[in-house]
Chains A and B, each alone.
Chain A
């Protein structure tokens, strides 16, 4: 009996030791090692496809520009950072930030700014000459209370409609020309329906619907009032907003029945296969079409009806976390991100355009050349769906309201919900 109890005591003691050892190793890891060497941990959600290729391109520039430092990839897969943001929030909460992390430029950074998790990088803009290389319009969009908290690596355009000219031809519509307004677009869809296209506008769940609402609001309200929706200068309860939401409700009646069940590549396939005439989606579609080897003649694209002359942007950017392990390494990464070579290496592969206005269009594929010209000449407005105009929380509330609207369309309810969403943080 005595022998047994001794064994048990030893066993349970060993158990306790194992437990405390776990605790210790957890505390010791993370921060310690990265401070010792010159590792630069870069946190992104670019884990595969064109995004990964773009990141690799940027890293090769970083390796030549910042020889003193070593790039450590800390990517978490998942579309638009859906998983990554959760992981990042945990790391930041635990006080173990990566050297630098990816975030949508603009309002989505507010969560991090308010929590005191990112530093002001305005000085780096001056040091690296970025205040002159980026369009003033973009810098205005990135500035929060006179400070800038991130450096954009790329620019995407949100207000683009992709059309199948062969389908439009059935209703004698010229696919190369955009309808002048949302009303004209709706009239074209009536023609398509009459010509036997059951669901002329292909759309998918979640943020795709948000992008369509934004495009309609942008067309109806104009660029200035539209921007005002996000910074509180335009009243969400206004009659013009009601009118725009009514048009959105009308537009939904032209869409596919399975819109809540599919993602944007599926919606794009409806257009490519000729089941639908149009889909509205950001310009990452161009890279997708190239990757899928869809010939140029099979699709056309133009700014969403009523929004030509306006570039609704979203951007991926990198930050300087507060109390990061190695700020010098992070700054060198940020320098690469903002540099002409870094932006070229990244964007030619990812299918986006550089934020710098001094880039050479000849280096880029056909779609991007047009987008770069627009980026220089158009008025720039932010996108809520992709974090340029809204925080994560606001976005979450808007998406919830839109999914409710998709099932039981009630314009008054949606309008109230959108207004309430923008009152939260």
Chain B
């Protein structure tokens, strides 16, 4: 008995602070939020709240504003993931082919990641100015100077949900593409050169080399990238807040709606939005985690 404690005791002690902190500040507070979301705590008033079951959730899904924010989020996530994967892969491919000054380009592509979302959001807010024609400013002005007037557009201030949220995704794509590039570049570098040589000796064309030899080996990285981007997109708040302000119906996503709801002290509703958001992230992350666990178990 004493011996057994000797084996797992120190490890448990080292883990204990982490377990306690995570248990309280993450899982404990998730439970707390979920509990709040089942009550009628709709004001800052103290005192006991009553349990109302899933009423807050039912109300949320019957509400135009919330459904609008969910649809916005869906479109944003698709636009953001597709855009970032395309640009990340493209840059990685260009660098992987070997260019002079690779380090410089790598830094340039990675730098946007170092900027906080709120700062880049403020600047992109100016760049995405919707004025056109003679008054054009920001990117529209740039298009006018380059004689690309047909590209001028109202960005997120008019048009369909797709164009609106794609305009919002643009800064996020700009910011995260470098990171995805780094992921893919590391993936390419991790493939043993022997494989390429073997493929070339077998007479594979450059296209076939990538299609059948290199890309299949990148699929675990692509999956990780997908998960990382997906959860970033679901939690996106600061960038949208900085570009459009707090009460913009056109670009509102659940995280911003949650903030608005909390500002008016409707704690139960805000907690319900938070739990829905958490569920969205869980849908994405849990299958990934179980898949990774199975892969590791196989090895």
Q: Tell me the A residues contacting B by CB distance below 8 Å.
A: 1, 4-5, 8-9, 11-12, 15-16, 19, 82, 85-86, 89, 92-93, 111-112, 114-117, 198, 205-206, 256-258, 260-261, 275, 391-393, 396, 399-401, 403-404, 406-407, 425
Q: Tell me the B residues contacting A by CB distance below 8 Å.
A: 6, 9-10, 13-14, 16-17, 20-21, 43-46, 65, 125, 128-132, 135, 137, 154, 157-158, 244-250, 252, 260, 262-266
Instruction: Find chain A residues with CB under 8 A from B129 CB.
Output: 258, 261
Docked pose: A85 CA to B263 CA in angstroms: 8
Q: Is the CB of B128 within 8 A of A396?
A: no
**Which chain B residue has the least Cβ–Cβ distance from A14?**
B17
Identify which of A82, A86, A275, A403 contacts B250 (C-beta below 8 A): A403
Instruction: Find chain B residues with CB under 8 A from A116 CB.
Output: 45-46
Instruction: Find chain B residues with CB under 8 A from A425 CB.
Output: 43
Docked pose: A298 CA to B20 CA in angstroms: 65
Given A8-B10, A82-B246, A400-B65, A89:B252 Cβ within 8 A: no
Q: Is the CB of A401 within 8 A of B249?
A: yes
Docked pose: A349 CA to B105 CA in angstroms: 52
Q: Is the CB of A9 within 8 A of B265?
A: no
Instruction: Find chain B residues with CB under 8 A from A256 CB.
Output: 131, 135
CB distance from B135 to the nearest CB of A (A): 7
The DSSP consensus for interface residues of chain A is helix
Q: Is the CB of A400 within 8 A of B17?
A: no
Instruction: Find chain B residues with CB under 8 A from A92 CB.
Output: 44
Given A258-B157, A261-B157, A12:B14 Cβ within 8 A: yes
Instruction: Find chain A residues with CB under 8 A from B14 CB.
Output: 8, 11-12
Identify which of A5, A89, A198, A261 contacts B263 (C-beta below 8 A): A89
Q: Is the CB of A396 within 8 A of B44?
A: no
Please provide the 10 A-B residue pairs with the shortest distance between their CB atoms, ordered closest to farther.
A393-B264, A399-B247, A115-B44, A404-B249, A5-B10, A15-B17, A258-B131, A12-B13, A260-B157, A403-B249
**Which chain B residue has the least Cβ–Cβ distance from A270?**
B135
Q: Is the CB of B135 within 8 A of A261?
A: no
Q: Is the CB of B263 within 8 A of A400?
A: no
Given A89-B265, A407-B158, A396:B46 Cβ within 8 A: no
Docked pose: A425 CA to B42 CA in angstroms: 10
Q: Is the CB of A117 within 8 A of B264?
A: no
- What would be 11 A-B contacts, judged by CB atoms less than 8 Å apart? A89-B44, A89-B263, A93-B44, A116-B46, A257-B132, A275-B135, A393-B265, A399-B247, A400-B260, A403-B247, A403-B249
Q: Is the CB of B21 within 8 A of A19?
A: yes
Q: Is the CB of B43 within 8 A of A12?
A: no
Q: Is the CB of B266 within 8 A of A393?
A: yes
Identify which of B10, B16, B45, B260 contacts A396 (C-beta below 8 A): B260
**Which chain B residue has the least Cβ–Cβ distance from A82?**
B246
Q: Is the CB of B247 within 8 A of A5?
A: no
Instruction: Find chain B residues with CB under 8 A from A86 CB.
Output: 262-263
Given A93-B44, A400-B252, A206:B10 Cβ within 8 A: no
Q: Is the CB of A391 within 8 A of B264?
A: yes
Docked pose: A4 CA to B14 CA in angstroms: 12
Instruction: Find chain A residues with CB under 8 A from B128 CB.
Output: 261
Docked pose: A11 CA to B10 CA in angstroms: 11
Docked pose: A117 CA to B44 CA in angstroms: 9
Instruction: Find chain B residues with CB under 8 A from A260 CB.
Output: 130, 157, 244, 248, 250
Q: Is the CB of A16 within 8 A of B17?
A: yes
Docked pose: A89 CA to B25 CA in angstroms: 21
Q: Is the CB of A400 within 8 A of B249?
A: yes
Docked pose: A225 CA to B128 CA in angstroms: 40
Identify which of A85, A89, A400 contacts B247 (C-beta below 8 A): A400
Q: Is the CB of B154 within 8 A of A392?
A: no
Identify which of A19, A111, A406 contacts B17 (C-beta below 8 A): A19
Instruction: Find chain A residues with CB under 8 A from B9 CB.
Output: 5
CB distance from B28 to the nearest CB of A (A): 14
**Which chain A residue has the least Cβ–Cβ distance from B21?**
A19
Given A89-B263, A257-B131, A407:B21 Cβ within 8 A: no
Instruction: Find chain A residues with CB under 8 A from B154 CB.
Output: 257
Instruction: Find chain B residues with CB under 8 A from A399 CB.
Output: 247
Given A19-B17, A93-B44, A396:B130 Cβ within 8 A: no
Docked pose: A93 CA to B130 CA in angstroms: 40
B44, B45, B247, B266 pick with most chain A CB within 10 angstroms = B247
Given A5-B10, A400-B252, A404-B250, A392:B263 Cβ within 8 A: yes
